[in-house]
């Protein structure tokens, strides 16, 4: 049996869940892996968190040096979140010769290259399965189980808050504000929900996952981002009528030497596996050149799902004779020779309020046609207000630039009151 001493930095939701799992399943881990995990120090300023979990007095500290100077600690778990002081604490842990396990997707997405360089310099490991999709082992799958394939596409519902909101809007007919309020009341959304509803959380995760999947850094600033705040109950209803569900998707594609990555709402066909992912659950849909399609599904957040991934990384790290690092040049930049695609292709849902006059539909359709955008379906609905109508145009696959040109012209037509929404379709 191998004894592994660890220190935990931060005993909030995820840190607390990690501590509980280690305490509850310590003997099972010894039986399955021959590794005895012992929590030697817990760095936490709020004593009530320590009290709630009955952390022994000898393990409690509010001083980072107590953790770093403990020779029995070989692995540090960072569950503080945010950039600072988490980044500085991790770098100090590396300098003290300790490997780090973290769930911090924002920190990884923004500073992975710097952190990995420091880990390599000090001969220690950096492990972050818990940073993406909670308890779903997607990073280990990409890193260790997909070597026989070139990953061509990764499509994921990787933010539980937005998926919960969109599920409530779809199944209960709630508008966005009501669904968000319910998510906040249940603890799925923060008081300031911007990181989730504006798509930042999904962008951080897509940067990490697509970098591993495509074997090159996919920088944050190259990923297109759009949140769910403009999705209306009407959009949800019209999508359902046409056989779709609306989901916030993170999409990455590799085509030869071309990479694209974008986060935005999408109309997903009802028969697609991602359409059935409900509430706060997450799913990642992979396409490999030989394995074809795979889907990984489960709880994407929470104390125990995320803590489960952290404990898995502790066990994995403890079993390594030589630490694993990224196989690509991890400098925060796309490899030379790889082109980033901004003008990616999609079908589009275009929701427009028009004056209810003869020829209105044809005028809008004419603009789309002149811009090289062909139509697949047109849906007309009554609008609130006299002499107005809502028209939904569903296009065939078109490029972003062609749609942008068309929408710019349509918005200025005298028969168009406003463009209500534009949503991509898979």
Active site residues: 205
Structure tokens at 66: 């107590």
Packed helices 160-172 and 233-241: angle between N→C axes, nearest 10 degrees: 70
- H or E element: which one contains 394? strand 388-395
**DSSP structure string for 180-225:** HHHHHHTTSS-SS-HHHHTSHHHHHHHHHHHHHHHTS---GGGSEE
> For residues 400 and 338, is the Cβ–Cβ distance under 8 A?
no
Strand order in the sheet with 60-61: 60-61, 35-43, 2-9, 73-78, 99-102, 126-127
244 pairs with which residues across the strands?
Answer: 269
255 pairs with which residues across the strands?
Answer: 258
Q: Who's near 271: CB < 8 A, 6+ residues apart?
A: none
77 pairs with which residues across the strands?
Answer: 8, 101
The CA distance from 115 to 90, in Å, is 8
The CA distance from 133 to 299, in Å, is 7
Sort 44 into a burial class: Cβ within 10 Å, 0-12 / 13-18 / 19+: buried
Structure tokens at 243: 């056989």
């Amino acid at each position: 049996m191998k004894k592994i001493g660890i220190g935990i930095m931060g005993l909030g939701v995820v840190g607390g869940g990690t501590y509980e799992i280690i305490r509850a399943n310590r003997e099972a881990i010894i039986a399955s892996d021959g590794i005895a995990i012992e929590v030697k120090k817990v760095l936490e300023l709020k004593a009530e968190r320590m009290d709630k979990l009955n952390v022994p007095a000898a393990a409690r500290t509010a001083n980072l040096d107590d953790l770093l100077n403990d020779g029995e600690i070989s692995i540090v778990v960072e569950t503080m979140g945010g950039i600072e002081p988490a980044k500085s604490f991790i770098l100090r842990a590396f300098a003290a010769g300790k490997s780090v396990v973290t769930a911090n997707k924002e920190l990884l997405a923004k500073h992975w290259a710097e952190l990995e360089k420091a880990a390599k310099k000090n001969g220690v490991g950096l492990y972050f399965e818990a940073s993406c999709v909670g308890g779903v082992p997607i990073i280990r799958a990409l890193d260790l189980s997909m070597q026989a394939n070139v990953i061509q596409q990764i499509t994921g519902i990787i933010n539980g808050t937005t998926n919960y909101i969109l599920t409530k809007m779809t199944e209960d007919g709630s508008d966005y504000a009501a669904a968000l309020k319910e998510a906040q009341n249940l603890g799925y959304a923060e008081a300031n929900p911007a990181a989730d509803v504006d798509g930042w959380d999904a962008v951080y995760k897509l940067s990490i996952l697509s970098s591993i999947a495509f074997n090159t850094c996919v920088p944050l600033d190259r990923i297109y981002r759009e949140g769910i705040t403009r999705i209306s109950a009407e959009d949800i209803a019209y999508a359902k009528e046409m056989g779709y569900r609306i989901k916030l998707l993170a999409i990455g594609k590799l085509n030869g030497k071309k990479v694209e990555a974008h986060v935005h709402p999408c109309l997903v066909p009802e028969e697609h596996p991602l359409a059935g992912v409900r509430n706060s659950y997450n799913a990642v849909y992979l396409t490999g050149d030989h394995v074809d399609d795979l889907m990984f599904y489960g709880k994407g957040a929470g104390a125990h799902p995320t803590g489960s991934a952290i404990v898995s990384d502790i066990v994995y790290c403890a079993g390594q004779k030589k630490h694993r690092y990224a196989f690509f040049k991890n400098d925060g930049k796309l490899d030379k020779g790889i082109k980033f695609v901004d003008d990616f292709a999609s079908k589009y849902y275009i929701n427009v309020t028009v004056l209810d006059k003869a020829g209105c539909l044809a005028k809008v359709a004419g603009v789309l046609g002149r811009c090289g955008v062909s139509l697949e379906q047109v849906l007309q609905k009554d609008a609130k207000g006299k002499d107005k109508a809502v028209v939904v145009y569903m296009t065939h696959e078109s490029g972003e630039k062609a749609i942008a040109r068309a929408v710019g012209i349509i918005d200025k037509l005298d028969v168009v009151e406003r463009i209500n929404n534009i949503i991509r379709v898979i």
